[in-house]
Amino acid sequence: MHLRSAGVLRVLYRTLWEGDLNVYVKVHTNSPFLVCMDLLLSQTEVIDPNYLWIGPDGQNLKGQSYVNLTETGKLMLLDFKEDMSGSYTCTLSYKVFQSDMKAEQERYKSYKFMVYAYREPDYTYRISVHFSTKECSLAANEQFFEELKKILNNLISYLTCQIIEPSFKCYSVKRPKHGLVDELFVVFQVNPFAPGWEVICHQVSTDCEDVTNSRVQKAQWLIEEFFNRQQHILQHEFKNLPAIHYIEHSFHVTRLDSCRPGFGKNDVTHNDCANCCVACDPGSYSPNNKLICLPCTSIRIKHYGAQSC
């Protein structure tokens, strides 16, 4: 069973189901309350309850600065970070009396929560567009491509976004009801990590995640609008088409996800948070902005969210 922390989900009970209860907490937020009691028991009278919460490092959580632990056994983890991920176990002890009050029993129940830090993925956008050209051997093709990169970078620079991995190739294309034409196939990515992005981000947000994705979405919209305007300009401002010009409706965009270092996606292990970037498990690491955590074979990594091996 898997549960993802959200604003409307504030209290989590264990049920009688014995599988692991996975809880996903977004970094730098507070977890929902984890309750040291199952739902069935919570609906009965519990006498002299006592709660012992143990964290992933084996330490008693009572009195720790990063927890909110109530007298009724509810645990909230504050400002959750990747290295706080792991198994949180609570042991509940309580008394049971016979009806004549002469016999007293001490009973114990244990509850386990697997708590993982996660981030939303960062977005980049891969964009492809086509331009008609007089011929593939035209020297102006390279010059046009270089100028196009400058224009697009200038367009989105105020968002601290940038064009990365730009490339183009020229092909002869036979389209329906037309003869052969030479076309430039241009591909590039819109990236939110231009120099200075961290300074801009941290002026607005501690974590930067939402700000980063908002910036790159705006950059993608600006570029899409730029190409949408090209056809209007060609139709209304040119009597004769330029040697190299945009092909209408050739704009295509694909969103590409990436995870911050120390995080990765695993649709099998974390299938209820499949789109989340979850802190790498002990024994694995992620040194870059790729989507997967890599196994570490040289040393034994014992903590979550490792960025190096």
Task: Give the contacts of 266 (CB within 8 A, at least 6 positions apart).
Answer: 278, 292, 293
Higher pLDDT, 136 or 10: 136
Show me where the domains of the chain are located.
Answer: 2-119, 122-258
Higher pLDDT, 267 or 186: 186
Q: Token digits for 82?
A: 């990747």
What's the CATH number of domain 2-119, 1.20.1250.20, 1.10.40.50, 2.120.10.30, 2.60.40.10?
A: 2.60.40.10
Compute the mean pLDDT over every residue in the chain, rounded to the nearest whole number: 86
Residue 192 pLDDT exceeds 50: yes
170: β partners: 184
Percent of the chain predicted with pLDDT > 90: 53
What values do phi and psi take at 199, rounded to 5?
Answer: -60, -45
Q: How far apart are CA 302 and CA 238, in angstroms?
A: 65
Residue the block writes with tokens 């830090």: 117
Percent of the chain predicted with pLDDT > 70: 86
Residue 68 pLDDT exceeds 60: yes
Q: How far apart are CA 226 and CA 256, in angstroms?
A: 21
Residue 278 pLDDT exceeds 60: yes
Mean pLDDT of 162-179: 89
The pLDDT score that the predictor gives to residue 7 is: 40
Residue 83 pLDDT exceeds 70: yes
Mean pLDDT of 215-244: 83
Q: How far apart are CA 258 and CA 291, in angstroms?
A: 5
Residue 205 pLDDT exceeds 60: no
Task: Give the contacts of 210 (CB within 8 A, at least 6 positions apart).
Answer: 120
The CATH class given to the 122-258 domain equals alpha beta
The pLDDT score that the predictor gives to residue 171 is: 94
Amino acid residing at 268: V
